A and B are shown apart, each in its own frame.
Chain A
């Protein structure tokens, strides 16, 4: 379980100090100066012929090893980020938590890779229903000035969802309204619409949710792939509350054709009554 303290510690540990000369750069610079000095004047450090022959080679090997270890570390980081997101996609949350907490124990560069890693940590925390932890992480990502634009958009969408879960409705509504008004790529627009629908269902604004149902359904189908099932489930809840039970039953059937009912209810507890009321699709797999 990721607590707030753990998250804070991981965020602190993974941060790279923004100094003009890092410790590693200092050592590399020093080795470079020594190498240059040895090449320009072999007798600079020692009068021994043996040392004069071997020292430049030794310094060069040190530089090569340093560059090699840095490259290997970057590769390891990239592989771990990929593994963490792979585990998240496959909903292997234990593995995702293990990889991401290990990864964030050391400074991560470049900034966008750290932002991606923090997003993965936020996803794990959200799955554990640690919404305050997730909120704190996402707010940190949004404060990162050099993060990738796509990561920042994703962080905003995720934060708005987390605020809703944390019952910070005013902030959540204001954030969702801003996102709805923004010019976004269709895939992100579909995610924002899903979030907006969740807000409407959560706040009991069922008429508004039902009004744009067909457009929303088409948008979810086109861009959310399997996650469109969550959208159908929320639409089903909206139709159920507005008394259109046939439509609600049909949407619930579609929702549970894509995602198993238990998984939908686990993510959106608001549809629990719908799950109990309407028959779900049977999975013969």
Chain B
């Protein structure tokens, strides 16, 4: 996908999100209007009008929900296609989800986030960053925000920023996550990003702090990512003069995975750094 195509798709995504918001508020307003008009508050015709509004809202809601359920299924299918490596089909499916009319914000967010993951895997880092920024913007907020998406979107944005070499952008993206209570899954996402940032920024003492806990989390990852995190920790230990620990971590990394297949630069994305996050 070219950057122009991504930009135009993001414009559509923003429009769709605003539409989903508008529909939601419109339904709430219509329901409230129906109940204000109901009862013996005014003319005799008003309860009938209330019933008419209520019926219209329910029918319109039903039609939109049916269409949105189809879009949700397609988004799920796109995520599965991406997780099994069928990228072209995944891209087509996800783009179609964003182009479809949906009142489910989470469906649009899933589709967009998966698209970002796909772009990241294709090496289109700038476009991926733009997509994650859009997801981050719409997954937050007091009303209608999706907290689980928001945290993941932050981590994915940080990952893309690191791949682009933008350390300040990466820090800005994942810093708020530090204060939050994270699930084990989010912690596993955060750890390699945090380590890559700390190594690239030269904060190696911080990278080796709580080494045992970090290794414990690395042990829960799949083999290539576990090896990658072990290599990052080994590098931090080496820079801190912890030679025994560095050697131990390198040996473990080699046992997990072929280390020659891992990227040499700490700022580069590791194996499956963000892929497969949303399954």
- Chain B nearest CB from A58 CB (Å) reads 11
Q: Given that A39-B47, A225-B226 are known contacts, is A283 also in contact with B255, CB under 8 Å in the complex? A: no
Is the Cβ of B222 less than 8 Å from the Cβ of A39? no
Q: Interface-forming stretch among A48-56, A118-126, A162-170, A204-212?
A: A48-56
> Is A247 part of the contact surface with B, judged by Cβ < 8 Å?
no
> Is A269 part of the contact surface with B, judged by Cβ < 8 Å?
no
> Is B38 part of the contact surface with A, judged by Cβ < 8 Å?
yes
Question: Which of B35, B41, B212 has a CB less than 8 Å from the CB of A285?
Answer: B212
Cα A86 to Cα B182 with chains together (Å): 10
Q: Given that A86-B183, A226-B226 are known contacts, is A53 also in contact with B47, CB under 8 Å in the complex? A: no
Question: Which of A52, A82, A285 has a CB less than 8 Å from the CB of B245?
Answer: A285
Q: Interface-forming stretch among B118-126, B152-160, B171-179, B213-221?
A: B213-221
- Chain B nearest CB from A96 CB (Å) reads 12
> Is B39 part of the contact surface with A, judged by Cβ < 8 Å?
yes
A241-285 vs B: 1/0 string, CB under 8 Å?
Answer: 000000000000010011000000000000000000000000111
Q: Which residues of B contact A42 (CB under 8 A)?
A: 38-40, 47
Residue in B184, B185, B220 with the greatest tally of chain A CB atoms within 10 Å:
B184
> Is A19 part of the contact surface with B, judged by Cβ < 8 Å?
no
Question: Which of B38, B215, B216, B256 has a CB less than 8 Å from the CB of A90?
Answer: B216
Is the Cβ of B184 less than 8 Å from the Cβ of A86? yes
Question: Which of A39, A222, A258 has a CB less than 8 Å from the CB of B38?
Answer: A39
Q: Which residues of B contact A85 (CB under 8 A)?
A: 184
Q: Which residues of B contact A285 (CB under 8 A)?
A: 211-212, 215, 245, 248
> Is B244 part of the contact surface with A, judged by Cβ < 8 Å?
yes
Q: Given that A39-B50, A42-B38, A285-B211 are known contacts, is A257 also in contact with B255, CB under 8 Å in the complex? A: yes
Is the Cβ of B183 less than 8 Å from the Cβ of A225? no
B211-254 vs A: 1/0 string, CB under 8 Å?
Answer: 11001100111110010000000000000000011001001100
Q: Which residues of A contact B41 (CB under 8 A)?
A: 53
* Shortest Cβ distance from A53 into B: residue: B39
> Is A129 part of the contact surface with B, judged by Cβ < 8 Å?
no
Q: Given that A56-B35, A257-B252 are known contacts, is A39 also in contact with B54, CB under 8 Å in the complex? A: yes
Q: Given that A60-B35, A283-B248, A285-B245 are known contacts, is A225 also in contact with B223, CB under 8 Å in the complex? A: yes
- Interface residue tally of chain A, by bracket? 20 to 34
- Report how many residues on chain B are interfacial, defined by Cβ distance under 8 Å: 31
Is the Cβ of A38 less than 8 Å from the Cβ of B183? no
* Shortest Cβ distance from B249 into A: residue: A285
* Shortest Cβ distance from A254 into B: residue: B255
> Is A8 part of the contact surface with B, judged by Cβ < 8 Å?
no
Q: Which residues of A contact B248 (CB under 8 A)?
A: 283-285
> Is A57 part of the contact surface with B, judged by Cβ < 8 Å?
yes
- Chain A nearest CB from B248 CB (Å) reads 5
Q: Which residues of A contact B244 (CB under 8 A)?
A: 284
- Chain B nearest CB from A9 CB (Å) reads 28
Q: Which residues of B contact A257 (CB under 8 A)?
A: 251-252, 255
Question: Which of B51, B211, B216, B223 has a CB less than 8 Å from the CB of A223?
Answer: B223
Is the Cβ of A82 less than 8 Å from the Cβ of B255? no
Cα A120 to Cα B202 with chains together (Å): 41
Is the Cβ of B245 less than 8 Å from the Cβ of A225? no
Cα A258 to Cα B40 with chains together (Å): 75
- Chain B nearest CB from A203 CB (Å) reads 28
> Is A25 part of the contact surface with B, judged by Cβ < 8 Å?
no
Is the Cβ of B39 less than 8 Å from the Cβ of A56? yes
* Shortest Cβ distance from A64 into B: residue: B31
Cα A152 to Cα B222 with chains together (Å): 22
Cα A56 to Cα B37 with chains together (Å): 11
Knowing that A42-B39, A284-B245 touch, tell me 14 more A-B residue pairs with CB under 8 angstroms: A39-B51, A39-B54, A42-B40, A42-B47, A52-B40, A53-B40, A56-B39, A86-B183, A221-B257, A226-B256, A257-B251, A257-B252, A257-B255, A285-B248
Top-4 shortest CB links A-B: A86-B184, A226-B219, A284-B244, A225-B223
